[in-house]
Each structure stands twice: as C-alpha cells, then as structure tokens.
Chain A
Amino acid sequence: MDYAATTPVAPEVLEAMAPYMTEHFGNPSSIHSFGREAKQTLEKARETIATLLEARPEEIVFTSGGSESSNLAIKGCAEAYSRKGRHIITTSVEHHASLDAVKHLSKNGFEATYLPVDRDGLVDLNALKNALRDDTILVSVIHANNEVGTIQPVKEIVEIAHEKGALVHVDSVQVVGSLPVSVRDLDIDLMSMSAHKFYGPKGMGGLYVKRGVRILPLIHGGPHEKKLRAGTQNVAGAVGMAKALELAVERMGDEVPRLTGLRDKMIEEITSRIDHVRLNGHRIKRLPNNVNVSVEYVEGEAMLLNLDLKGIAVSSGSACSSGSLEPSHVLMAMGIPHEIAHGSLRFTLGRSTTEADVEYVVSSLADIVAKLREMSPLYPSGPCKCKD
C-alpha cells in the first residue's frame, strides 16, 4: 500500500511502449524517415497529454520525471525573471525536489519565503497575500501533499498571485492521473507531472509551461523541446506516459469514488479498532487514496518492518525511517509533536487494492500495534485496548 511512492506500468502501457524500444527506435531529431516517424510519434503523445490537461501541445515539455520538472520550473523561471525580481514564495510542506531547488536559489542571490501551514497542512491564503511583494516573481506550491494527502486551494492561490504579478508553479505530481486537472481552468503557469505515479514508466515526466511564460533551460545542448530541455527525447517513455494518462482519465470517474470509499473505510476501521491513533492531513480536502496516521507509543519504522514481514508495503514519517534521522518536515510544519510524528505511517491505495486488502492490512496493523505497545515504556500501563 505504497502507491504514492510508485505504481507498476499498466499492461496496455507496456504494450504501447514496446515497439518504440525495438523496431521503431528512431531519434526524433534525425532527418531521415526513421527519425521523422519517431518525431511524429512523439508529437502525437504530446498532443494526447496536452488535450487531457486542456493545454496546447506546444505547452508540454518532456522531462525525465517530477524532480526534473520542478527543478526546471523553479530554477528556469527564477533565472528568466531575475531582472524583474528575486523573491520566491513557497510552502513549508513541499516535496524536496521543490524545497531544495528553492533553498539552492536562496543561496545564490534569491530570497525565499516559506509559507506556514495549519494543523491540516493547508496554506493560509492571507499569509500568501501578505508575503507577496512587488519583486516576487514566483509562487511554487505542491498541489496535493505526497505525505498527508492534503489538497491546496490552487485556484485561489493562482488568483492571488496573479493579482500581484507573480507566476505560479504547481507541483501536481500526485494529482495528474489521480484527479481531473485543467491547466486552463486553474490558470496555472507551470505544472510538474510524473508518469510513474499513474501506471506509466519511471524516468518520464512533463512540465507544462503556459504560452508566454519564459523559463531558461537547465540542460543545454540542442534545440529539443523548444530549446527548453536538451537531449534525445524518450519516445517510448512519452508514448507510455500518454497511454497511462489516457487510461487514468478514462477510469477516473469510477476509480476516484472507489478509492475514496476504500480510504474512508480504512480510516474508519483504524481509528475505531486502535486506540490513541490520529489521522494526519485534512479529512475532506484529501487525495482519494491517502491514509496517513500517527500511532502513539510505538515507532514508525518498527511498524513498517513488521508490516513488511506480512507482505505489506507502506512508508513512514519517523526519523528512524528517513535517511537523515529527521522526522518528516511535512508533519513538523503541521505542528505535529515529534513523539507523534515518530509513530506515523502512510498507506496509499492503488488500482489493485481491494476491500479484502484493506481488511487484512487493518487487522495486521492492530496486531502489530498491540505487540509493539506491549514492549513500549510509554504505553499507559495495562494491555493494549486493540480490538480484533
């Protein structure tokens, strides 16, 4: 149950991609017919993706994934508009790809403001209004949080930022392919997406760049992607991403309610069967597949390992489960105390998740929590009140 981390490539996607790795392997920049055919295929994929997002084909730049897209958006935009201003606004709950890109800029002549979030992880729109200055060139915000699932009020953020003349980059890596997105409707200027989050291949992503918005490239070396991103394009990858997005949008009408139902059932079961448990992130403005809970008196990695031994994959926001030994910066920004953050687990459901899976996972979790609480010096004395 770790589909926010990654998803398997759908069989239809694999099938669509295969010919472009073998027989039709041309380089889209080549002038001969093999190259021209590849170019046509690439542009068809681009058009498919653009249409599904209500964008124009020339507004889609192919990249190697979400991290590259966010770096290109943030650094590319900052450099392009550095004469207009050097102030960037972002939030305290961004994915590291955005956060670190902004931090890098703040050490190289730019100034950054990190907007705080409330207990649910929502950005305060007044704080944004107050932070915007005449020299603010970019606001970068994560559309839906990868850890706790909270969905930001993007439309309002864009309106507020535009009023002050600032551009908006939205990290939609967890949203594209999961929920309907229209760049036209939201009036976004830059948007990151990543194929392997919606049953497409890893190493493939895209950046939406609204017509008229300027960015400077990160990767130099050729006229590819309108000179915004040099390098021979991953034609098979682009085909895969287009097919994956097509399938995802086709299924969204059924899949969103199905996942939401499973998610809600899981939240209900966990909170009723295990005591001293809380949900992290907004209850309603939340990704349909995200369940992030903090279990008191036990530690995240210990739960994670126990779940792994039962064939269940999840992730945790505890310090011990991160490489840096720091608890999740997202949970910290939401004001969640360290002790509570250490006992956090993120379950993210996917296409193949069934009701039986949810039942199995919740039962397993209840058992594991009871077992770990038996050995916890923090648990108030007496046996764990976990119900079977």
Chain B
Amino acid sequence: MYSEKVMEHFSSPRNVGQISDPDGVGQVGNPVCGDIMRLSIKVEDGKIVDVKFMTFGCGAAIATSSMITEMVKGRTLDEALQISNRAVADALDGLPPAKMHCSNLAADALHKAIQDYYERSGKSADAENRRTTAG
C-alpha cells in the first residue's frame, strides 16, 4: 500500500518535537477525524532555519509531516508557501488515493505556521519579501 519512501519516513521520522520558543506554530486537523498535525518553525532573515512536527495520525500522516519538514528547512518563507500537498505526495513517491488528504494536512499546517509567524511579528507578506530580495 505505502511506497518505500513513505515507510522510511514513517519508521525514522525527521524533526520530531516542538521548538521551545517558536516564531510560528500551525496546527490543523482534529481528533474526531483521527488526524492532527502541529508544525513549529524558527525564522531568520526570511528563511525557515528550524522546523519540528508533532502528529497524531496514520502512517501517511506521519510520513507527510516528516517529509514536509525536510522539504522546508532552509527555504525562504515564500518558497515554503509554494509547497503544495501534491509536492509532498510526489516527494514520497505517491500516496494511496484514500490517503491524499494527509498530504493536504501537512501543507495546511505549514502555511498556518507561516501565517502565524507573520501575525506574531506584525509584518505583512509583502514587506517581508521586499526585505529579503533587497537584502
């Protein structure tokens, strides 16, 4: 059912945990559905320098969480916002159709974390972009 890549990420998930003083936190899902993901990020100079995840969910949920943290570390916020659920699923060599919603959760949690960062720091997305391209 699951690809080798999914099983790999599932058995040895990367970046598990919570950042102690995060710059942004995004949580999606709910226990009734059986899926919850929480992503916390550390941002420096418009780049995600650290990211950790906590997930309650199935094999696909854990694998997509792990994969997205790998994909996002070191990226700019803008690049991170471009990461789609499709990209996460592809990076894992695909997910069974019934499990695609797990990849949605991962992308949504990331976007929410970035959104949270902007809200906390009082900056807007545009201002941030201008700063990074100029600097």
Contact = CB atoms under 8 A, between A and B. Distances in A.
Interface in A303-335: 305-306, 309, 318-321, 323, 325, 327
B119 to A, nearest CB: 20
Contacts of B34: 299, 318-320, 327, 338-339, 342
A298 B98 contact: no
B16 interface: yes
A321 B55 CA distance: 17
A284 interface: no
A377 B32 contact: no
Interface residues on A, range: 20 to 34
A189 interface: no
Interface in B34-84: 34-38, 53-62
A3 interface: no
Contacts of A306: 11
Interface in A195-252: none
B98 A323 contact: yes
Contacts of A376: 54-56
B27 interface: yes
A325 B55 contact: no
A120 interface: no
A378 B56 CA distance: 7
Contacts of B99: 320
B112 to A, nearest CB: 13
A374 B56 CA distance: 10
Q: Is the interface of B mostly helix, strand, loop or mixed?
A: mixed
A259 to B, nearest CB: 30
B24 to A, nearest CB: 15
B33 interface: yes
Query: Which one of B10, B17, B58 has the greatest number of beta carbons of chain A within 10 Å?
Result: B58
Q: How large is the interface on B (under 10, 10 to 19, 20 to 34, 35 or more residues)?
A: 20 to 34
B58 A377 contact: no
A299 B38 contact: no
B27 A377 contact: yes
Interface in A341-388: 342, 374-378
A320 B11 CA distance: 17
Nearest to A340: B31
A375 B27 contact: no
Nearest to A338: B32
Interface string A277-304: 0000000000000000000011111100
Interface in B99-121: 99
Interface of A: 297-302, 305-306, 309, 318-321, 323, 325, 327, 338-339, 342, 374-378
Given A306-B11, A338-B32, 4 more contacts: A301-B59, A321-B58, A375-B54, A377-B27
12 contacts: A299-B58, A301-B58, A302-B58, A305-B58, A306-B11, A309-B11, A319-B33, A320-B34, A320-B99, A375-B17, A376-B54, A377-B54
For the complex of A and B, the 7 pairs showing the least CB-CB separation, nearest first, are: A320-B58, A301-B58, A339-B31, A342-B34, A377-B54, A377-B38, A338-B32
